[in-house]
Structure 1
């Protein structure tokens, strides 16, 4: 799959997906595909220029925080946003279907002010959002009151085990999951206003019947019925709310909506505290009264929903809601037109129109939403496990029944606050993936603690604090739901995608219900370790999801930019009204060029909106890019989608240097982040295999291993060439090779001249002598630095070895000041000091006398060191040389600032191959010398040692290649501190592999290193952004002077 811009890529706006697998005209097949056809991208620039509507709202308003003033704060300013309906030629194409329930209020000529729109939104919140929150609270009360029942000896009264409890939760979630899609189909057929009240009254009846539970069978049956009857409620309500709100408004409302479930849990705690005191009344247990009373309460709410829930914005009048309804005619016009102008797809299906199997299958095949399903499958597992066992764990720690109930309130209150804060943060900073990572990082320290100590023996108040903080995490469920809704540009896709996402999240809760087992009690060693692994996995999944959309957008970017404006317009007109018919003209699929575009634009489908294109909030579906200026919610829709697709083109504005600089820096940082993750993973593999080879297989040849690992770098360029060739497989080998050699040659000339703009003299001078000298120089420095480790490992202690060698981060910064002209900045110095303190804590905080060092060798204990002073001097020299090597590489072997990230990556791997080749051709000389002197006998590895060595060498080559790219894209200081993260990662992997828990020193030191890395990352980011901005301003001034 490729991508195509739904806006002009050169403007930095969002894009949609196109098929580029065959040499045929571009063809949108993203989530925005219609049910029966493909849509044509139409330029909004043409719409705006042709209509020249002066009575439309300003699209350049940027309002990121609720406390900031914006142009929209003036209540008399026109709020009506540009739309496809402003073009007379296109308005009829996008007109809502004839039986759309709101058609009588549809008026493309309607205009209204911000004061009017804000008043309507507040009224919708009061009437619709509040009602939706109350209905979700009813679901949460009946779904989760079993946790309060556990505090009243529920399991013992029914003679159930904890495994039975897990089974009941699993059955409940499984039935809930199976009911999702059928419930959505019923809701779309009957209408949400009918189906939701039916659901509420049905599950409430079952919930109150739990009063009469008698055994394991009745418990499992009621759990199953509750799941079946409540399944599909969440996606149905999300679809229902989308009828009333714009995309960015929906995310905020969903945040409060999901927070209502936490509020329900708080109320449930208070209810349970009072109701459970009824234990013994009528000879019944307190938990039986809990089920009965709360079931009757939610049944009442379900009956009220029949009369309070309107079918649509224009159908609020009835005997209970008033003959005139909740809204005036003017308010209904505003409600309908502000929504349909943002997303015409909302007018393509009636609110009681059933879905066909074909439409469901088309929605399911939209694989670009699958990353969200994967996230939904994994992100909630750790929280689910702890929350379902919270009351049981507190009972195990000796808390009384009623104290347990009260102690469950704080985490629900904190969770509601953090959940809403996360939604606001995502809207303010316009990054959904990073907010998801933040939520997982929240849980990481608590899980590390639960794994590092015997949690079952901890002080009960310490345990409660840890569990409360764990469950207070900012749940990103609302973000995901809004993310999914934005990505679904048609009503049928939104309907099915919401169900599929909710099914994945329910599956995660099924998995979470089966992490803890009776056989693992009371410490739950295996369970807690599993949760920690899952949190780390989730962080990687979020990062890979973002990376997936980055790559998709880069491919799309190139295709759209390869077309002229006329070709884009012709292409838009050429698509016929059926999905299988090709455009009339051929040959627009240009041969893609080498993918060097460092785009970090996050995926947005082929669904541009014409609502407030520049209002600064993330209207875009999928991964929203920070500070992107136009919304891209689109116009895909249901079975009436026989119309072209709208595309925004670049508006006639000029970007500021600040904006361009920030975009360029972010792109570079995103690519660097990907290489950082790959380098960390490969280093862990290298370390673990090195330990196994030396201490399990007894192949202890330090210099030979150093020679092989550094020599393996020679494979970097061939592997890179293969990947590039696969990408450019349509290009002839001759043309591909010529372009590749030209790129490497010109980059080498830039490196030698330290200038992006080559003079005639520079371009004719061969860079080969310079590169050979630099390769020899850098390789010798690297080899001596690396060799010092192996010399000192048998002389000094493991603690000294770890602490001194990793001070190379400090020396890298020290050398970068004179050699790279870096400024002495307090924030950088502070970050490096914090990192080194973290290393010292890891090195000297552990009481064990002899322990593995971070790169896999085992240092001596303090009583075993042969010559500690000499060893420390040697490793100190190695530390200085390693810091110097990093700076020398940046100074003499990296392209100058301003070089594209793609070019920098290609050259970094090429230079890494030169280092590897020099190592293989020259540095073999010490091998026979060491063998003859008897210091290291040369022996070819065989059997398992050979295979493990091959894996270790390949992992080192991967790590080194990524590390060189990281230095090239960022700075030696940041790269050096980033490398320190491997200390903590290796410790975690060792603990998972051996079962020996992490020491407190390892945890504290590792967290200090992580904090230092993020502080330094932010400092480096700001510095790079400032340098890029100054560079762009200088170029701008130079261009103006030339004119």
Structure 2
């Protein structure tokens, strides 16, 4: 009996020591996690935010240029202006998937800065166009060069952060998009005062100066961005090993047997994975929802100065640039808040189901009231609801895809389909509809309601997949290095 009691005490002591050791290890892991994330955040995110801010500035600055003389100076009609906007989206869409498939071959450190350098150069060229043909040609090339940035950045970030850390990070750099609206309005207001200088009107200087800024940021990003965790020189060797281990634990089936690296880093292009990404139902549900949201987002960015200019309380187009700043600033705050909540709760679509109706209400009201103050107030709801939804929908496909080329395909395809919303956005606010623009507002309102239904469908579909995996219906895929494995749970 004494021996049995002694053995029990030894087992108890061993268990206690093991528990204490595990607790100490967990505390150390938490400290190391915070340290690694801090270094990643301060090195990668500011540079990506800067590139994305430049991207949105160079995509939407044509809206600022329009109200200070672009159309009259190059002698184009309102319809020709809209066509120039649509051509950009055509080439932008066509370049997204090829760019994402090329990203790994060319390496992110080279590919992303190269894209920025090229589209910055094309933005400068917009400052020298003389006619409709030149406007169309430069806008088309601008779309080709800029199209690969956003899907490339989403894919790039997924190689540094776990699935439940992505929304906040993408939310932070996507906040740059809403800030670009505010910054763009202020910058356009200042640059307009240059006119005329050296024979160039003020709207031309908007393109030239902002294009130069993008070229500079492209060069800076080549210096600052690492290719991967393996080449992140700002991390100590033990930190790189820990960061790799974190990613492997987030997607346990991505491990190579007998290797310390991720299988995705060694994965070769398999067209079966590309096909699986293209045929993914979840991708189509989020892509069509995103398309509807971007219809509103792009029209908001392109036509907000025009809408505000028609409200009456802006004394001139330059004042309208300043009034357009405040809704974007409000949206940037809400975007960050929604991103934090999304990551904390590990939810994507569910968050959007609550945020998107804010924009739907905004568009519904602005289309049916005549008070200038109420209309301006509704621009806040419109921007908050749309921008607050973007980080969640951007990372949703990436969070629910495993395997480099499957993730690359779903990320690029989602954005390619989504950017078709740009075609709708460019034609729903014709000048003849102003200043009420009722038809345009109602079109966006309907699109956002459609997006809400698609998001709800995807939440229910992902929940069904998780139930099926729990019930053993996916057991045949056990050991697969992709999102079909029973242990890979869908984020709702």
The answer as to whether partners of 2:123 and 2:207 remain within 8 angstroms in 1 is yes
Of 158, 166, 174, the residue aligned with 1:250 is: 166
Q: Distance in 2 between matches of 1:56 and 1:475?
A: 42
Cα shift at 1:238: 1.3
Of 208, 225, 240, the residue aligned with 1:309 is: 225
Q: Runs of 5+ in structure 1 lacking a partner?
A: 1-51, 59-75, 80-111, 317-324, 562-567, 580-603, 610-619, 624-1043
The answer as to whether partners of 1:243 and 1:313 remain within 8 angstroms in 2 is yes
Q: Distance in 2 between matches of 1:245 and 1:510?
A: 33
Q: Distance in 1 between matches of 2:93 and 2:330?
A: 28
Q: Distance in 1 between matches of 2:485 and 2:22?
A: 24
Of 280, 297, 300, the residue aligned with 1:383 is: 297
CA pair 543-143 structure 1, distance change in 2 beyond 3 A: same
The answer as to whether partners of 2:270 and 2:405 remain within 8 angstroms in 1 is no
Residue 321 of structure 2 corresponds to: 405
The answer as to whether partners of 1:158 and 1:215 remain within 8 angstroms in 2 is yes
Residue 362 of structure 1 corresponds to: 276
Structure 1, 174-183 or 354-363: larger mean CA deviation: 354-363
Structure 1's consecutive aligned runs of 4 or more residues displaced over 4 angstroms after TM superposition are: 52-58, 551-561
Residue 487 of structure 2 corresponds to: 608
How do 1:755-834 and structure 2 match up within 5 A? none
The answer as to whether partners of 2:282 and 2:458 remain within 8 angstroms in 1 is no
Residue 903 of structure 1 corresponds to: none
Q: Distance in 2 between matches of 1:305 and 1:238?
A: 16
Deviations 1:757-805 (A, max 9, x none): xxxxxxxxxxxxxxxxxxxxxxxxxxxxxxxxxxxxxxxxxxxxxxxxx
Q: Distance in 2 between matches of 1:173 and 1:337?
A: 40
Q: Distance in 2 between matches of 1:57 and 1:414?
A: 44
Of 246, 264, 285, the residue aligned with 1:349 is: 264
The answer as to whether partners of 2:403 and 2:481 remain within 8 angstroms in 1 is no
Q: Distance in 2 between matches of 1:536 and 1:368?
A: 18
How do 1:451-466 and structure 2 match up within 5 A? 451-453=367-369, 455=370, 458-459=371-372, 461-466=373-378
The answer as to whether partners of 1:172 and 1:227 remain within 8 angstroms in 2 is yes
Of 230, 239, 251, the residue aligned with 1:331 is: 239
Cα shift at 1:54: 5.8
Of 284, 288, 293, the residue aligned with 2:200 is: 284
2:138 equivalent to 1:222: yes
CA pair 302-435 structure 1, distance change in 2 beyond 3 A: same
Of 468, 472, 477, the residue aligned with 2:380 is: 468
Q: What is the DSSP-based 3-state SS (H/G/I as helix, E as strand, rest coil) of the residue aligned with 2:264?
A: coil
Residue 181 of structure 1 corresponds to: 97
Q: What is the DSSP-based 3-state SS (H/G/I as helix, E as strand, rest coil) of the residue aligned with 2:393?
A: helix
Q: Runs of 5+ in structure 2 lacking a partner?
A: 1-16, 256-261
The answer as to whether partners of 1:210 and 1:292 remain within 8 angstroms in 2 is yes
More helix by proportion, 1 or 2?
Answer: 2
Cα shift at 1:518: 4.3
Q: Distance in 1 between matches of 2:57 and 2:212?
A: 11
Cα shift at 1:219: 1.1
Q: Distance in 1 between matches of 2:171 and 2:152?
A: 16
Cα shift at 1:176: 0.6
Deviations 1:494-518 (A, max 9, x none): 1111101111221122222222334
The answer as to whether partners of 1:201 and 1:299 remain within 8 angstroms in 2 is yes
Q: Distance in 2 between matches of 1:497 and 1:311?
A: 21
Q: C-alpha root-mean-square deviation of aligned residues, in Å?
A: 2.8
Q: What is the DSSP-based 3-state SS (H/G/I as helix, E as strand, rest coil) of the residue aligned with 2:229?
A: coil
2:119 equivalent to 1:196: no
Instruction: Indicate the structure whose relative CO is greater, using CA pairs within 8 Å and at least 6 residues apart.
Output: 2
Cα shift at 1:525: 3.5
CA pair 53-509 structure 1, distance change in 2 beyond 3 A: farther
Deviations 1:96-148 (A, max 9, x none): xxxxxxxxxxxxxxxx5311221111011111122211221222222222122
Scaled by the length of structure 2, the TM-score of the pair is: 0.87
CA pair 119-233 structure 1, distance change in 2 beyond 3 A: same
Cα shift at 1:237: 1.1
Cα shift at 1:465: 2.4
Of 26, 32, 42, the residue aligned with 1:78 is: 26
Q: What is the DSSP-based 3-state SS (H/G/I as helix, E as strand, rest coil) of the residue aligned with 1:523?
A: coil
Residue 451 of structure 2 corresponds to: 538
Q: What is the DSSP-based 3-state SS (H/G/I as helix, E as strand, rest coil) of the residue aligned with 2:265?
A: coil
Q: What is the DSSP-based 3-state SS (H/G/I as helix, E as strand, rest coil) of the residue aligned with 2:198?
A: helix
Q: Distance in 2 between matches of 1:266 and 1:302?
A: 22
Q: Distance in 2 between matches of 1:157 and 1:372?
A: 41
Q: Distance in 2 between matches of 1:129 and 1:530?
A: 35
The answer as to whether partners of 1:485 and 1:621 remain within 8 angstroms in 2 is no
Q: What is the DSSP-based 3-state SS (H/G/I as helix, E as strand, rest coil) of the residue aligned with 2:402?
A: coil
Residue 429 of structure 2 corresponds to: 516
Q: Distance in 2 between matches of 1:426 and 1:466?
A: 25
